[in-house]
Amino acid sequence: MSSTHFGYQTVDEAEKAGKVRGVFDSVASRYDVMNDMMSLGLHRAWKAYTVAVAALREGDKVLDLAGGTGDLAKAFAKKVGERGTVVHTDINEAMLRQGRDRLLDKGLALPTSICDAESLPFATGSFDLVSVAFGLRNMTHKDRALAEMCRVLRPGGRLLVLEFSKVAAPLQKPYDWYSFKVLPALGKLIAGDSDSYRYLAESIRMHPGQQELKAMMKTAGFGHVDVHNLSAGVVALHVGIKC
């Protein structure tokens, strides 16, 4: 049986999805609070930048993968208007439920679906834009997921991947200290779960860096890929255009 990584652990590929599901089941109810604490509120600026780069027009069709608690889906829905569509998805039911309820509280009833990004239940060429924010690194077969994202886009459609990446070298030591000392402590204090936040820090280190992910996106079928480093590379926004 093939193996893969779960943070710094090596596990059977068949086990990873269940382990990731356990992490997000554990943190779902406190996810938004922890995002603010972990990023010192910067995740809001990163997402706002992503929405600006998306440059959506009224009537566009958008697929938001690993949409979680719905920050991007909500912002995209405002841009595409009543003639457009934003499909809010996640593989994790607990996270998707949190997002659906939060969107409903804002008066937004969006199409919502539990789905695996490695095998999307949508027709080829269905969307103008696909987005995945802070979710790609948790996927077992990133190459399959990227190929599926490319498949469901129309020709000329765009993929936005917002994800933690490789930080600039001068910041590596303080970033490591924050990630492996402060984050688990915050997780224990706020969410009652230090192990899940230790995994999240490890998963960031195991995720492909900026240039490696750019190459993966090109292999998946994106003819042009731009990389936008945010906060000195703590996060990167990759923008791919389907051939």
Tens-digit pLDDT profile for residues 190-220: 778 888 889 888 999 999 999 999 999 999 9
Element at 88 (helix H, strand E): strand 85-90
Give the total residue count for the chain.
243
Closest residue by Cα to residue 92 from 196, 243, 215: 196
Strand pairing partners for 129? Answer: 62, 158
| CA within 13 Å, CB half, 217 | 26
With a cut of 50, which residues of the chain have pLDDT below it? none
Q: What would the two tokens of residue 72 be?
A: 């991007």
Cα→Cα distances 22→26, 27, 72, 100, 195, Å: 6, 9, 23, 19, 11
Quote the pLDDT of residue 168. 96
202 CB-near residues (< 8 Å, 6+ apart): 7, 8
Q: What would the two tokens of residue 225 be?
A: 């890929």
- Is 117 annotated in a binding site? The answer is yes
Quote the pLDDT of residue 178. 94
Quote the pLDDT of residue 107. 94
- Is 89 annotated in a binding site? The answer is no
pTM over 0.75: yes
Quote the pLDDT of residue 1. 58
Closest residue by Cα to residue 220 from 170, 173, 159: 159
- Is 45 annotated in a binding site? The answer is no
Nearest-angstrom CA–CA distance, 182 and 126: 42
- Is 90 annotated in a binding site? The answer is yes
